[in-house]
Amino acid sequence: MKTEGPSPRLSALAQVSGCVLWAVVAMTSATAQESARLTPTVELIRRVKAAVVPIFAFGKDGNLSAGAGAVIHPSGFILTADHVTRDLEGVAIFGLTREPYRIVGRLPEKDLAVLKVAAPKPRDCLALGRSRDVWEGETVLAIGNPGGRGLCFSQGIVSCTSMDPTWPSLLHQTYWRDSMDPAGGRDDYIQFDAASNRGNSGGPLINAAGELIGVECAKGSGEEAINWAIPIARVRHLFNYMVQPEEYGDFWAGAEVDLAAARAVVSAVAPGSPAAKSGLAPGDVLLSLDDLPVRNGLDWLLLLTGHQAGSALPIQFERGGQPRKSSLALAPYPLPAAVSKKGKSPGLRFALYRPEGDAQLGRIPDFSALKPVKEGFITKLSPDEFVSGSKDNYAVLFQGYLEFPAAGHYRLILTSDDGSKCFLNGRLLIDNDFGHPAQPLSRSVRAPAGLLPVRIEYFQGRGDRALSLHTMAMDKPGQPASEARFYRD
């Protein structure tokens, strides 16, 4: 009997079935391998990569400075370290596309800067996290532009949540514990061990949730895996010192927004201001400005940047859960009236205070609750001229007038060891309070030619002491800061 083999059709079907089965097995194996390789770190990098950019600044001597930055708003604002750009022109690179940036805010003494690039369509951006609740041992991702070669990623942990590299040692700190500020008056840093090299400066330190918690700024010399990042809490706290759209743009909006709140909550509205005329009131929540989203107080300052007096910007806000629409018509910046120099003498009036009993000053006291132990006049902003006896544990109130040689845009730089505050024309301009080493803090202001009332508060805890106020004309690039000139009645 003749035995027949399988039909050609069945043979072909078997071959096809075998191929399909092999392909399914291969795909399943590849999927399993990819799944094993797709770690949380890989997923995190894929999620945040497009919101981090290499930055190159062009030095006037031909040198090239390389760093990185994080996009913090879809309209193209970038947060970075000031020493990366140093007020120089340059570019941010998206993929392989060069985008010229302009600097819209700087705080050199805190090593922070904000840049702006064009945004033909919304840019990917990072969410700002919180750094007050960072944990030691928490996994972090450091992104930078080492050697200017492009974005590189490294993973590590938070080694210390609050490190001040200026302390000689922990032993030294124990002698000062009573005057140390638990709220963060000193410029402390997040210390992390992820690899960080030249070119990482300005790059973001990111937590496992993909949130920006620090700005990479420096590394320890002569030690392994010691790197520091500026905590995002300090960025939030100082944002309205760094980004001042009204002073830089010479216009007035007149609304203050809470920078610490999760949403853009209006905290104050100046009477008669454009904000008041638009219907804004304290407690309102801003939703958009000029048809761009306002997520928080930082966004409000960013989106005001670049406008000018006379612009009418559409605005949306929420009151009592109900959305509202209006228009914000920006007005010229209102300069305060100058005080005549006639009848004034050079110098300041001072009042010296000492706390009662054994009380140790850790911040500027309530002067209204104390009686001065000495009063008089000085020609220079320095307690050394009149403090006798103990050189520690005292406070001083200075009052008089600050001279501006011409109407224009100025930056005031207040440096102190320990704490200080500067009030100009009755407004708290610079708050550099609490115990800390010689630490500058600056803010810009528009002023008329002549004198404006000034009040400077200062306290000295223990150890070294320092106090100075300098002014710098922002309208005259390259001109150095000069010591402030004071007058008194």
- pLDDT tens digits for the chain (489 residues)? 344 444 544 454 445 445 444 444 455 555 766 778 899 999 999 999 999 999 999 988 888 999 999 999 999 999 999 999 999 999 999 999 999 999 999 999 999 999 999 999 999 999 999 878 899 999 999 999 999 999 999 999 999 998 888 777 888 777 665 545 544 567 889 999 999 998 999 999 999 999 999 999 999 887 889 999 999 999 999 999 999 999 999 999 999 999 989 899 999 999 999 999 999 999 999 999 999 999 999 999 999 999 999 999 999 999 999 999 999 999 999 999 999 999 999 999 999 999 988 788 889 999 999 999 999 999 999 888 888 888 899 999 999 999 999 999 999 999 999 999 999 999 999 999 988 889 999 999 999 999 999 999 999 988 889 999 999 999 887 788 999 999 999
The predicted pLDDT at position 444 comes to: 96
Q: What residue ranges of the chain are covered by domains with CATH 2.60.120.1560?
A: 345-488
Q: What residue ranges of the chain are covered by domains with CATH 2.30.42.10?
A: 244-332
- Identity of residue 461: G
Pick the CATH number of 127-237 from 2.40.10.10, 1.10.260.40, 3.40.605.10, 3.30.2350.10: 2.40.10.10
The predicted pLDDT at position 3 comes to: 40
Taking CA atoms, 111 is separated from 32, 85, 234, 359, 455, in Å, by: 46, 10, 11, 35, 27
Q: Which residues of 212-231 are buried (b: 16+ CB within 10 A; e: fewer)?
A: bbbbbbbbeeeeeebbbbbb
Which residues have C-beta within 8 Å of that of residue 420, sequence separation ≥ 6? Answer: 364, 414, 430, 432, 433, 456, 457, 458, 459, 467
73: left (phi over 0), alpha (psi -120 to 50) or beta: beta
Cis (ω within 30 of 0) for the bond into 188? no
Find out whether 296 and 264 touch, Cβ atoms under 8 Å. yes
Instruction: Check if CATH label 2.170.190.11 holds for domain 47-116.
Output: no
The whole-angstrom separation of Cα 487 and Cα 398 is 11
The whole-angstrom separation of Cα 269 and Cα 260 is 17
The predicted pLDDT at position 185 comes to: 66
The predicted pLDDT at position 482 comes to: 94
What is the rounded (10 degree) CA torsion for 108, 449, 425, 382?
Answer: 60
The predicted pLDDT at position 475 comes to: 86
The predicted pLDDT at position 16 comes to: 42
Q: What residue ranges of the chain are covered by domains with CATH 2.40.10.10?
A: 47-116, 127-237
**What is the three-state SS of 281-347?**
CCCCEEEEECCEECCCHHHHHHHHCCCCCCCEEEEEEEECCEEEEEEEECEECCCCCCECCCCCEEC
3-state secondary structure of 238: helix
Predicted TM-score (pTM) of the model is 0.88
The predicted pLDDT at position 131 comes to: 78
Instruction: Check if CATH label 2.60.120.1560 holds for domain 345-488.
Output: yes
What CATH number belongs to 244-332? Answer: 2.30.42.10
The predicted pLDDT at position 28 comes to: 55
Find out whether 90 and 202 touch, Cβ atoms under 8 Å. no
